[in-house]
Amino acid sequence: MSTDPLTDRLRALEDIEAIRSLKARYFHCCDRKNPEGMRDCFVPGNARIDYGPVGVFDHRDQLVDLFERLGCHDHIVEMHHGSNPQIEILGEHSARGVWSLYFQRIDTRDHTLTQLGGWYEDVYVKEDSRWRIAQTRCVIDSSLVLSLADPAARVLVAGRPTTPMPQPGDPA
Protein backbone atom coordinates (compact mmCIF):
# COMPACT_ATOMS: atom_id res chain seq x y z
CA MET A 1 0.00 0.00 0.00
CA SER A 2 1.07 3.58 -0.57
CA THR A 3 1.33 6.40 1.92
CA ASP A 4 -1.52 8.25 0.18
CA PRO A 5 -4.97 7.19 1.49
CA LEU A 6 -6.71 8.38 -1.68
CA THR A 7 -4.40 6.28 -3.86
CA ASP A 8 -5.06 3.26 -1.62
CA ARG A 9 -8.82 3.72 -1.83
CA LEU A 10 -8.69 4.07 -5.62
CA ARG A 11 -6.54 0.94 -5.90
CA ALA A 12 -9.00 -1.00 -3.70
CA LEU A 13 -11.93 0.09 -5.87
CA GLU A 14 -10.06 -0.88 -9.03
CA ASP A 15 -9.17 -4.26 -7.51
CA ILE A 16 -12.77 -4.91 -6.46
CA GLU A 17 -13.96 -4.10 -9.98
CA ALA A 18 -11.29 -6.38 -11.47
CA ILE A 19 -12.48 -9.22 -9.21
CA ARG A 20 -16.11 -8.60 -10.23
CA SER A 21 -15.02 -8.81 -13.87
CA LEU A 22 -13.07 -12.01 -13.16
CA LYS A 23 -16.13 -13.72 -11.66
CA ALA A 24 -18.35 -12.47 -14.49
CA ARG A 25 -15.83 -13.86 -16.99
CA TYR A 26 -15.90 -17.22 -15.17
CA PHE A 27 -19.73 -17.38 -15.36
CA HIS A 28 -19.67 -16.31 -19.01
CA CYS A 29 -17.07 -18.97 -19.92
CA CYS A 30 -19.15 -21.64 -18.17
CA ASP A 31 -22.31 -20.62 -20.02
CA ARG A 32 -20.55 -20.32 -23.39
CA LYS A 33 -18.77 -23.67 -23.04
CA ASN A 34 -15.33 -22.06 -23.12
CA PRO A 35 -13.02 -24.39 -21.16
CA GLU A 36 -9.83 -22.41 -21.91
CA GLY A 37 -11.38 -19.19 -20.70
CA MET A 38 -12.67 -20.95 -17.60
CA ARG A 39 -9.22 -22.41 -16.90
CA ASP A 40 -7.67 -18.95 -17.16
CA CYS A 41 -9.88 -17.66 -14.32
CA PHE A 42 -8.00 -19.88 -11.85
CA VAL A 43 -4.39 -19.70 -10.72
CA PRO A 44 -1.99 -21.91 -12.66
CA GLY A 45 -0.79 -24.84 -10.61
CA ASN A 46 -2.50 -25.82 -7.41
CA ALA A 47 -5.89 -24.36 -6.62
CA ARG A 48 -8.47 -25.50 -4.07
CA ILE A 49 -11.81 -25.98 -5.81
CA ASP A 50 -14.59 -27.46 -3.69
CA TYR A 51 -17.85 -27.84 -5.59
CA GLY A 52 -19.43 -30.17 -3.03
CA PRO A 53 -21.40 -32.97 -4.69
CA VAL A 54 -19.82 -32.17 -8.07
CA GLY A 55 -16.31 -32.79 -6.70
CA VAL A 56 -13.24 -31.39 -4.98
CA PHE A 57 -10.25 -30.52 -7.15
CA ASP A 58 -6.64 -29.59 -6.39
CA HIS A 59 -5.87 -28.19 -9.84
CA ARG A 60 -7.85 -26.15 -12.34
CA ASP A 61 -7.28 -28.76 -15.05
CA GLN A 62 -9.28 -31.32 -13.04
CA LEU A 63 -12.29 -29.00 -12.95
CA VAL A 64 -11.95 -28.14 -16.63
CA ASP A 65 -11.78 -31.86 -17.51
CA LEU A 66 -15.06 -32.50 -15.69
CA PHE A 67 -16.62 -29.41 -17.29
CA GLU A 68 -15.66 -30.65 -20.77
CA ARG A 69 -17.08 -34.12 -20.08
CA LEU A 70 -20.37 -33.02 -18.47
CA GLY A 71 -21.15 -29.52 -19.67
CA CYS A 72 -19.64 -28.91 -23.10
CA HIS A 73 -22.38 -30.50 -25.18
CA ASP A 74 -25.01 -29.00 -27.45
CA HIS A 75 -27.81 -30.64 -25.44
CA ILE A 76 -26.69 -28.88 -22.22
CA VAL A 77 -27.69 -25.25 -21.67
CA GLU A 78 -26.34 -23.72 -18.46
CA MET A 79 -26.97 -20.33 -16.94
CA HIS A 80 -24.84 -19.16 -14.00
CA HIS A 81 -25.98 -16.03 -12.20
CA GLY A 82 -23.76 -14.58 -9.49
CA SER A 83 -25.04 -11.68 -7.44
CA ASN A 84 -24.66 -9.80 -4.17
CA PRO A 85 -20.85 -9.86 -4.19
CA GLN A 86 -19.14 -9.09 -0.91
CA ILE A 87 -15.49 -8.52 -1.81
CA GLU A 88 -12.86 -7.68 0.77
CA ILE A 89 -9.35 -6.64 -0.21
CA LEU A 90 -6.98 -8.23 2.30
CA GLY A 91 -3.73 -6.86 0.92
CA GLU A 92 -2.05 -5.76 -2.27
CA HIS A 93 -2.16 -9.30 -3.67
CA SER A 94 -5.01 -11.03 -1.83
CA ALA A 95 -8.76 -10.75 -1.44
CA ARG A 96 -11.77 -12.83 -0.58
CA GLY A 97 -15.35 -12.75 -1.66
CA VAL A 98 -18.77 -14.28 -1.21
CA TRP A 99 -21.25 -14.43 -4.08
CA SER A 100 -24.86 -15.59 -4.22
CA LEU A 101 -25.45 -18.20 -6.93
CA TYR A 102 -28.48 -19.04 -9.00
CA PHE A 103 -27.82 -21.83 -11.51
CA GLN A 104 -30.08 -23.32 -14.12
CA ARG A 105 -29.30 -26.26 -16.40
CA ILE A 106 -31.49 -27.52 -19.21
CA ASP A 107 -30.66 -30.95 -20.62
CA THR A 108 -32.54 -31.37 -23.91
CA ARG A 109 -31.41 -35.00 -24.28
CA ASP A 110 -32.56 -36.20 -20.84
CA HIS A 111 -35.43 -33.69 -20.74
CA THR A 112 -34.53 -32.31 -17.32
CA LEU A 113 -34.34 -28.87 -15.79
CA THR A 114 -32.09 -28.33 -12.77
CA GLN A 115 -32.13 -25.20 -10.63
CA LEU A 116 -29.71 -24.62 -7.78
CA GLY A 117 -29.32 -21.82 -5.28
CA GLY A 118 -26.38 -21.24 -2.99
CA TRP A 119 -23.21 -19.25 -2.71
CA TYR A 120 -19.51 -19.17 -3.55
CA GLU A 121 -16.76 -18.45 -1.04
CA ASP A 122 -13.65 -17.36 -2.98
CA VAL A 123 -10.05 -16.46 -2.28
CA TYR A 124 -8.33 -14.38 -4.95
CA VAL A 125 -4.68 -13.67 -5.60
CA LYS A 126 -3.09 -11.03 -7.78
CA GLU A 127 -0.08 -12.14 -9.80
CA ASP A 128 1.50 -10.09 -12.58
CA SER A 129 -1.15 -7.37 -12.11
CA ARG A 130 -3.94 -9.90 -12.69
CA TRP A 131 -6.52 -11.31 -10.26
CA ARG A 132 -7.35 -15.01 -10.35
CA ILE A 133 -9.27 -17.47 -8.20
CA ALA A 134 -6.96 -19.42 -5.87
CA GLN A 135 -9.65 -21.11 -3.78
CA THR A 136 -13.35 -21.50 -4.21
CA ARG A 137 -16.07 -23.35 -2.40
CA CYS A 138 -19.60 -23.64 -3.73
CA VAL A 139 -22.32 -24.37 -1.17
CA ILE A 140 -25.71 -25.42 -2.52
CA ASP A 141 -28.61 -24.83 -0.16
CA SER A 142 -31.56 -25.35 -2.48
CA SER A 143 -32.19 -27.53 -5.48
CA LEU A 144 -34.95 -28.46 -7.88
CA VAL A 145 -34.69 -31.09 -10.60
CA LEU A 146 -37.67 -31.44 -12.92
CA SER A 147 -38.39 -34.10 -15.50
CA LEU A 148 -39.75 -32.48 -18.64
CA ALA A 149 -40.16 -35.78 -20.52
CA ASP A 150 -43.90 -36.13 -19.78
CA PRO A 151 -46.60 -33.66 -20.85
CA ALA A 152 -46.68 -32.44 -17.25
CA ALA A 153 -43.43 -31.53 -15.49
CA ARG A 154 -42.55 -33.89 -12.65
CA VAL A 155 -40.42 -32.99 -9.63
CA LEU A 156 -37.46 -35.36 -9.24
CA VAL A 157 -35.63 -33.55 -6.43
CA ALA A 158 -36.57 -30.49 -4.41
CA GLY A 159 -35.11 -28.95 -1.28
CA ARG A 160 -31.72 -28.89 0.33
CA PRO A 161 -29.39 -31.46 -1.27
CA THR A 162 -27.98 -34.05 1.11
CA THR A 163 -26.68 -36.44 -1.54
CA PRO A 164 -24.86 -35.93 -4.83
CA MET A 165 -26.97 -34.25 -7.50
CA PRO A 166 -28.36 -36.54 -10.24
CA GLN A 167 -26.13 -36.65 -13.27
CA PRO A 168 -27.14 -37.18 -16.90
CA GLY A 169 -28.08 -40.81 -17.45
CA ASP A 170 -28.79 -41.53 -13.75
CA PRO A 171 -32.10 -43.36 -13.22
CA ALA A 172 -34.92 -41.04 -12.12
Q: Is residue 142 over pLDDT 80?
A: yes
pLDDT at position 1 is 62
Q: Is residue 82 over pLDDT 70?
A: yes
Q: pLDDT digits over 41-81, tens only? A: 999 989 999 999 899 999 999 999 999 999 999 999 999 99
Contacts of 76 (CB under 8 A, 6+ apart): 70, 105, 106, 107, 108, 168
For residues 3-13, average pLDDT: 91
CATH number of 5-159: 3.10.450.50
Q: pLDDT digits over 106-141, tens only? A: 999 999 999 999 999 999 999 999 999 999 999 999
pTM to 2 decimals? Answer: 0.87
For residues 142 and 131, what is the distance between their CA atoms, to the nearest angstrom? 30
pLDDT at position 98 is 98
Q: Where exactly are the structural domains of the chain?
A: 5-159
**Closest to 101 (Cα-Cα) out of 81, 127, 121, 125:** 81
pLDDT at position 3 is 77
Q: Is residue 36 over pLDDT 80?
A: yes
